[in-house]
Structure 1
Amino acid sequence: MSFNKIILLGNITRDIELRYTPTGTAIAKTAIATNRKYKTQAGEQKEEVCFVDLTFFGRSAEIANQYLGKGKQVLIEGRLVQEHWVDNSGQKRSKHSVHVETMQMLGNKQEAQKQTTQPTQPAQQPKQNIPEMDIDDDSIPF
């Protein structure tokens, strides 16, 4: 049995590139940046940033194109894949990326209301969304 699931929380690093296959399937590509803050043994604060390419398919690709953009915070769940291709100079290349299966757009309530309410309504104090994850204990590999 094998298990391939990845969950990332971060910010979109570039605007969505949306394309369609000849059969009409939408494919959207972008990237996410995640960060981790830690303290070294010497007590120095450090930050580690990881950039990961994302690929959305079908309706999810169209939704991502409509609502996600550079800087938007998103929680994604998907599977890790290794892509292979030959570059312009004939060299074989590969990279890891994530094929997104589900996503949750995050941000504060005020940002969400900007998209759905009239400008005459008073703005509410922002609340940070805390993502909820439904994880089956049997699917945890440790």
Structure 2
Amino acid sequence: MASDLNVVALTGRLTRDSELKYANIGMAIARFTLAVNRKIKDANGQWVDEASFFDCSMFGKSAEGVNQYLLKGTHVAINAELRQEHWEKDGQKQSKVTLVVSQLTLLGGSQNNQNNAQNQRTGQQTGKYSPTPQERSTEPPVSNGVEEFDESQIPF
């Protein structure tokens, strides 16, 4: 009999600095929220970002080692599993689904640091990054829930 699969892989940006706490047994727990964007067309046909937010936890030595780098705006990739937490508040049962991170990769600095680096590449000293004409002409693919792909790329 096959076992169930509980795997999540995401890339996104931290919405706040990571918070490091220690459990009664001394285990480190780093908690942060990850914002993941996707492009959608609004009612006017304009491309807009739609964000989803995920509460994440990381445990042990990994949490201690990476916590100092988990700052607001930092771009990361995570591998995690879904875990449902349960508690009671004012006599009402509560629950939420969180991501327990098993692997984290730093993809770059904060959004501000990346904008500064892009500004230097384009010769701009101050202000926000302005895309080149080639970047402006590139529209994201239409997302109707089904991705289009070349069937010749399937290996079987």
> Partners in 2 of 1:90 and 1:103 — Cα distance?
37
The alignment status of 1:106 with 2:136, answered yes or no, reads no
Higher Rg: 2
> Partners in 2 of 1:64 and 1:71 — Cα distance?
15
SS at match of 1:69: coil
Q: Point out where structure 1 has 5 or more consecutive residues left out of the alignment.
A: 112-123, 126-142
Q: Can you list the C-alpha shifts for 1:65-104, whole angstroms capped at 9, x where unaligned?
A: 21111111100001011111112x2221111110000000
Query: Which deviates further from its counterpart, 15-24 or 41-50?
Result: 41-50
Q: What is the aligned partner in structure 2 of residue 94 from structure 1? A: 95
Count of residue pairs the alignment pairs up: 110
Q: What is the aligned partner in structure 2 of residue 139 from structure 1? A: none
Q: What is the aligned partner in structure 2 of residue 84 from structure 1? A: 86
1:60 CA drift (Å):
1.5
Identity score, percent: 45
Matched residue type, 2:93: K
The alignment status of 1:67 with 2:69, answered yes or no, reads yes
From 34, 37, 46, the equivalent of 1:35 is 37
1:43 CA drift (Å):
2.8
Q: What is the aligned partner in structure 2 of residue 8 from structure 1? A: 10
> Partners in 2 of 1:42 and 1:72 — Cα distance?
31
Q: Can you list the C-alpha shifts for 1:19-45, whole angstroms capped at 9, x where unaligned?
A: 112221111111100000022586332
Q: What is the aligned partner in structure 1 of residue 23 from structure 2? A: 21
Q: What is the aligned partner in structure 1 of residue 137 from structure 2? A: none
Q: What is the aligned partner in structure 1 of residue 130 from structure 2? A: none
Instruction: Please tell me the root mean square deviation across aligned C-alpha atoms, in Å.
Output: 2.0
TM-score scaled by length of structure 2: 0.64
SS at match of 1:38: strand
> Partners in 1 of 2:100 and 2:25 — Cα distance?
19
Q: Can you list the C-alpha shifts for 1:107-141, whole angstroms capped at 9, x where unaligned?
A: 16xx7xxxxxxxxxxxx96xxxxxxxxxxxxxxxx
Q: What is the aligned partner in structure 2 of residue 117 from structure 1? A: none
Alpha carbons 1:56, 1:64 under 8 Å: kept: no
Matched residue type, 1:38: I
Matched residue type, 1:39: K
